[in-house]
């Protein structure tokens, strides 16, 4: 009887040598990919840290007030002040910059892919297993190759975050495009719309609330990667949590976690209000 005692397919070996081969031969390629991410991240991060904290809080308060109302504005200002008083202001700004950068790249890449998938069944079929893998593969699996290809630090953290946070915006953009009534597309064609016009004047405007929901989900996923990104040397609010974990400093870990939760609620409520505003 066959008992699976021996390894017949040495897949792990193959993968290791494949990644080694990539690292040796094509590191330059990954450095090129890294560059725009690095550039955006350091720009946003430096910017946020240069601005006086109270001004940042004020701007967030105004945004919350504009998209929702006084209630959310009050919560936002209060939470940010509280985070500042906990002594996590610089970390919060780094996390914010990382979330912002990864979300920007997720949007830039995800929305076009989502539109393509929404309009082509074939591409959608091709893309779905890839997205499934991106969402379900434990982050620890791709942390190693990311470190090998991009080294450690904030930028590598953002890249890992992009991998994890990309699927929702692609999926929901595709869904939004598919949800547009075929009659509306037909009506546009009947009046002489070109493919571009159908996309720009009918499909995207009508898919926008769904795309915004995807953006919201992507932001949430990005925030949930903060701690994992800290494992490969990324700074921000994940760092105190990881440090607390390593040193069994329960207080430090909890306070770091609390700041992440508060930031998540703020970003979630603001982007959700933006989505529903567009709908009305």
Partner 1 sequence: MHALVIDLVQESRTAQKCAMENNMEKIVIKNLYKVFGSDPKKGLSLLEQGKSKDEIYEQTGLTVGVQGASFSVNKGEIFVVMGLSGSGKSTLVRMLNRLIEPTSGEVLVDGEDVLKMSKAELVKFRRSKTGMVFQSFALMPHQTVLENAAFGLELDGVDKKDREERATDALKQVGLEGWEKAYPNELSGGMQQRVGLARGLAVDPDILLMDEAFSALDPLIRTEMQDELLKLQDRHERTIIFISHDLDEALRIGDRIAIMEGGRVVQVGTPEEILQNPADDYVRAFFRGVDPTGVISAGDIVRDTQPTVIWHTKEGGPRATLEMLSNRDRDFAYVLDSERRFLGIVSSDSLRDAIDKGNGKSKLEHAFLGEVKSVWDTESLQDILPLVASHAWPIPVVNSESIYRGVVSKNRFLRTLHRAENGSHFEQPAA
Among 202, 232, 262, 266, binds partner 1 (CB under 8 A): 202
Among 205, 254, 261, 277, binds partner 1 (CB under 8 A): 205
In the complex, the smallest distance separating the C-beta of residue 271 from partner 1, rounded to whole angstroms, is 20
Q: How far is CA 138 from CA 19, 131, 164, in A?
A: 18, 13, 9
Given a contact cutoff of 8 angstroms between Cβ atoms, the answer to whether 173 and 123 are in contact is: no
In the complex, the smallest distance separating the C-beta of residue 127 from partner 1, rounded to whole angstroms, is 24
Q: Pick the stretch among 21-29, 33-41, 194-202, 227-235 that binds partner 1 (CB under 8 A).
A: 194-202
Q: What angle do CA 171, 223, 159 make, to 5 degrees?
A: 70
Q: How far is CA 262 from CA 75, 94, 145, 156, 277, in A?
A: 9, 15, 32, 24, 23
Report the residue number, 104 or 206, with the smaller CB distance to partner 1. Answer: 206
Using CB under 8 A, count the residues that bind partner 1: 17
Query: Contacts with partner 1 in 160-189 (CB under 8 A)?
Result: 181, 183-184, 186-189
Q: Pick the stretch among 88-96, 98-106, 110-118, 195-203 that binds partner 1 (CB under 8 A).
A: 195-203
Report the residue number, 193 or 258, with the smaller CB distance to partner 1. Answer: 193
Report the residue number, 3 or 280, with the smaller CB distance to partner 1. Answer: 280
Distance from the Cα of residue 185 to its chain's centroid: 31
In the complex, the smallest distance separating the C-beta of residue 169 from partner 1, rounded to whole angstroms, is 21
Report the residue number, 246 or 280, with the smaller CB distance to partner 1. Answer: 280
274 binds partner 1 (CB under 8 A): no
Q: Pick the stretch among 70-78, 138-146, 159-167, 190-198 that binds partner 1 (CB under 8 A).
A: 190-198
Inter-axis angle of helices 121-136 and 154-179, to 10 degrees? 140
In the complex, the smallest distance separating the C-beta of residue 181 from partner 1, rounded to whole angstroms, is 7
In the complex, the smallest distance separating the C-beta of residue 205 from partner 1, rounded to whole angstroms, is 5
Cα dihedral 239/242/245/248 (nearest 10):
-30
Among 141, 190, 246, 248, binds partner 1 (CB under 8 A): 190
211 binds partner 1 (CB under 8 A): no
Q: How far is CA 27 from CA 12, 24, 141, 154, 159, in A?
A: 21, 6, 19, 18, 15
Report the residue number, 17 or 194, with the smaller CB distance to partner 1. Answer: 194
192 binds partner 1 (CB under 8 A): yes
277 binds partner 1 (CB under 8 A): no
Q: 159-185 as b/e, with b when 16 or more CB fall inside 10 Å?
A: bbbbbbbbbbbbbbbbbbbbebeeeeb
Given a contact cutoff of 8 angstroms between Cβ atoms, the answer to whether 246 and 97 are in contact is: no
Q: Which residues bind partner 1 (CB under 8 A)?
A: 181, 183-184, 186-194, 197, 201-202, 205-206
């Amino acid at each position: 009887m066959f008992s699976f005692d021996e390894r017949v397919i040495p897949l792990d070996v193959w993968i290791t040598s494949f990644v080694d081969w990539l690292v040796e031969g094509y590191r330059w390629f990954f450095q090129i990919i890294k560059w725009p991410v690095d550039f955006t991240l350091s720009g946003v991060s430096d910017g946020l840290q240069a601005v006086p904290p109270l001004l940042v809080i004020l701007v967030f308060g105004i945004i919350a007030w504009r998209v929702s109302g006084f209630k959310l504005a009050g919560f936002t200002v209060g939470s940010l002040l509280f985070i500042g008083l906990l002594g996590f202001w610089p970390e919060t700004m780094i996390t914010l910059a990382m979330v912002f950068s990864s979300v920007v790249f997720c949007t830039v890449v995800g929305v076009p892919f989502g539109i393509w998938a929404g309009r082509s069944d074939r591409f959608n079929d091709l893309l779905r297993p890839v997205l499934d893998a991106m969402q379900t593969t434990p982050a620890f699996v791709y942390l190693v190759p990311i470190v090998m290809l991009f080294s450690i630090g904030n930028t590598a953290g953002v890249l890992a975050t992009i991998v994890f946070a990309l699927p929702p915006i692609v999926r929901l953009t595709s869904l939004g495009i598919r949800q547009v009534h075929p009659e509306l597309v037909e009506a546009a064609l009947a009046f002489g719309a070109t493919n571009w016009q159908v996309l720009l004047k009918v499909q995207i405007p009508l898919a926008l609330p769904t795309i915004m929901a995807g953006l919201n989900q992507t932001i949430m996923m990005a925030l949930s990667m903060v701690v994992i990104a800290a494992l490969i040397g990324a700074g921000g609010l994940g760092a105190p949590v990881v440090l607390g974990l390593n040193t069994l400093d329960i207080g430090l870990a909890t306070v770091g976690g609390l700041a992440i939760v508060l930031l998540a609620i703020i970003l979630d409520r603001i982007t959700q209000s933006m989505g529903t505003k567009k709908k009305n």
